Amino acid sequence: MPNSSNTYVAIMAGGIGSRFWPASREERPKQFLDILGVGKSLIRLTFERFLKLCPASNIFIVTNKQYAGLVKEHLPELTDNQILTEPSRNNTAPCIAYTAFKLQALNPEANLVVAPSDHIILKEEAFVDTLQQGLAFTAGNDALLTLGITPTRPDTGYGYIEVPSADNSSDQPLPVKAFKEKPDRATAQQYLDSGNYFWNAGIFVWRVSSLLKAFAENAPEIHRILGAGTEQYNTPQEQAFIDKAYPTTPSISVDYAIMEKASNVFTIPSDFGWSDLGTWASLHAESPKDKAGNVVQGDAVQLIDTQNTLVRTPKGKRIVIGGLQDFIVVDEGDVLLIWPKSREQEIKKLAK
């Protein structure tokens, strides 16, 4: 069992979520919305899930400056020092490096989980158990660990993690052979058939010391720029330093900057009912449905001869829909979207 006082969590919550337009807007993106219709926002659900792993005082949120107020509104338990605000959108590598330097200044023994704010986890106990296993491994090894989701279908929307062999009788994390970009359908089917590939969930576990060493070796520019502020982290001067230094970092994902280059990368094959909830269609796929395959979020919706459709409407608004199949219907009051599910990749463009 890892020392839980050294366990920290960083939740990345800076995205715009444009594939969930018109519900998700730049001023209130999807992580702050009750997308599941359960009375809690995605970031609130994510925060509460991690309370099973460590106390609230060890949970940090990395977000864009414009969302600091929303973070406080949804997570009133946090102090200002637990909300890291990026002045620019530079992808995941700089925001993870910033978090690592800040935590190193707080606790050099910090063992860190990094996860997105807007994923679905259906089996929370299995999720926490998997992270405990990962934290125990990184506490004792100089390792960069990522969770690999056992694929259930040849999905073309996820990146994949390749391992030399998926034989995991030892129950130890497996070495990663390669990271693969989102494949086409035929390649995804090959990955599924081989059994040596996992979905890349973008959930990481690493000791802060191992992580900063990996930045120094593989992304020295990010390490140099953000490392210059060591004296300022967790002081009143931190934000001024970040506002000046952060926008000068290269805009690059942590996968490209470190994970694809480092030799000490491992994965734990996992199954905890995960979805990255990237699109309206994935929300439809993950939600409970009626007999006709419809998902309804609304209290006055009447569906006639309608199948496999997602409907999200304001409280108390009477909606009658007839003869629709495989559609997305989202009424946000000021915008009504009626769109075929098969063309949902175009929604991101509509948001612009």
CATH superfamily of 4-275: Spore Coat Polysaccharide Biosynthesis Protein SpsA; Chain A (3.90.550.10)
- At residue 3, the pLDDT reads 58
Angle at the Cα of 183 from the Cα atoms of 219 and 278, rounded to 5 degrees: 80
Task: Give the pLDDT of residue 172.
Answer: 85
The whole-angstrom distance between residue 77's C-alpha and the CA centroid of its chain comes to 21
The count of other CB atoms within 10 Å of the CB of residue 80 is 9
Within the chain, how many helices (H) and strands (E) appear?
11, 18
The predicted pLDDT at position 1 comes to: 46
Q: What is the pLDDT of residue 278?
A: 86
Tens digit of each residue's pLDDT (9 = 90 or more) over 293-310: 999 999 999 999 999 999
Low-confidence ranges of the chain (pLDDT < 50): 1-2
Domain regions of the chain by residue span: 4-275, 280-351
Q: Report pLDDT for 168.
A: 64
Instruction: Indicate yes or no: pTM above 0.85.
Output: yes
